[in-house]
Amino acid sequence: MAEMLSDRYADDIERACSFLRSCDDVLVVSHVQPDGDAISSTLVIGWLLDKWNKTYRLVNENGVPSRLADLPMAEQIDSYQDGEGEPEQKYSTVICVDCADYARIGKIANWVAPDARILNIDHHPTNDRYGEAALIRDNAAATAEILYDLLLAAGVDLDEKVGTMLYTGLLTDTGGFRYSNTTPHVMSVASELLKLGVQGNAIADRLLETMSMAQLKLIQRGLSRLTFTPDQRVGWLFITPDDMRETGAVNEDLEGLVNYARNVEGVDVGLLFKQIDDQNVKVSMRSSDRVDVSAIAKSFGGGGHVRAAGCKVSGILDDIIIQVVERVKQEL
């Protein structure tokens, strides 16, 4: 692993370790609508702070998706429910994980003091290195991969518990070790985690192979609307609030839906438009190796990775579909 560490990255790891060793009474937060890497990374920080006898609180705006609820320590992650559980005093020390920009922590920002010390740990290329200390490696497959490097540098002994957290982050952000971000280092880390006793097959079955009936019904709705440009290089589908209510689906059931558009042979970019309300739409983007969707998302105020990005756009659903599809076509 040492050969992979640039001087700047090694220095950033040391600064992050120093921040973690010196802090106490810490708020650990990930992005809104957390995915497997966000939840796993939150838990890894909690595990490390436990090792160092620190006091902390784990939180995000939406809580833990049900499919991730079996992760070790997952019950410690609180959700923001219109101020319920709000601390008496705002936190002066904050660790943000997997947040491409500070605004991605959502309403949890209400719990943070204006002059708070912030440690920013992330792998998104669009991260602007906010905070007092920033540990960023934009070619990492997941924030969990960065945290593995940090734990080794910190000299702590890994166990099956933290291994399960790390493995989950790697598995989900690499699409089950199928995406182009699945590097030799990722596979080497995964191998080391399996040696700790991590049940990789059980994690993969739960997260990649199992779906609820509500999710299946949501997929049916989405596929019934799957549309392509005349050259079939861009595909998209959309989901409305009525779809969510009538199928009984929750936001985590949207996971992977965009891939049905992207995975069709000949398609370069797949899009999922999730209508939040009459004036706001969340757009998820996935691409082949030809298109940088992070640049497209950034033009709409979002961000992400070259092959996977997203944004939230204000406007009417039909109008936004036209705007985004036209913007994608400009990049082809």
Superfamily for 2-208?
inorganic pyrophosphatase (n-terminal core) (3.90.1640.10)
Roughly what angle, to the nearest 10 degrees, separates helices 160-173 and 36-51?
Answer: 160
Domain 213-331 has CATH 3.10.310.30: yes
Does the pLDDT of residue 83 top 70, yes or no? no
Tell me the mean pLDDT in the region 106-127.
Answer: 96
Band the pLDDT of 1: cuts 50, 70, 90: very low
- Residue 290 has what pLDDT? 86
Does the pLDDT of residue 85 top 80, yes or no? no
From residue 174, give the alpha-carbon distance in Å to each of 112, 162, 166, 168, 208: 32, 19, 12, 10, 11
Does the pLDDT of residue 299 top 90, yes or no? yes
Tell me the mean pLDDT in the region 159-170.
Answer: 99
Average the pLDDT over each of 30-44, 80-94, 270-284 and give the range with the smallest value: 80-94
Contact by Cβ (8 Å): 57, 26: yes
Band the pLDDT of 209: cuts 50, 70, 90: very high
Does the pLDDT of residue 107 top 60, yes or no? yes
Residue extents of the structural domains in the chain? 2-208, 213-331
CA distance 274 to 272: 6
CA distance 309 to 243: 23
Does the pLDDT of residue 176 top 50, yes or no? yes
Tally of CB atoms within 10 A around 18 = 12
Does the pLDDT of residue 42 top 70, yes or no? yes
Does the pLDDT of residue 84 top 70, yes or no? no
Chain CA centroid to CA 310, Å: 11
Contact by Cβ (8 Å): 214, 249: yes
Of the candidates 263, 269, 257, which has an alpha carbon nearest to the alpha carbon of residue 326? 269
Dump pLDDT digits (tens) for 118-147. 999 999 998 999 999 999 999 999 999 999
Tell me the mean pLDDT in the region 261-281.
Answer: 96
Does the pLDDT of residue 183 top 50, yes or no? yes
Tell me the mean pLDDT in the region 142-166.
Answer: 98
Does the pLDDT of residue 296 top 80, yes or no? yes
Tell me the mean pLDDT in the region 61-90.
Answer: 89
- Residue 2 has what pLDDT? 41
Q: What is the mean pLDDT of the chain?
A: 95
**Tokens found for residue 96:** 């943000």
**Tokens found for residue 292:** 């940088």
Tell me the mean pLDDT in the region 4-22.
Answer: 92
pTM of the model: 0.90
Roughly what angle, to the nearest 10 degrees, separates helices 184-195 and 143-154?
Answer: 60
- Which residues face 236 on adjacent strands? 227, 271
**Tokens found for residue 125:** 């290329």
Does the pLDDT of residue 6 top 50, yes or no? yes
Of the candidates 330, 282, 329, which has an alpha carbon nearest to the alpha carbon of residue 309? 282
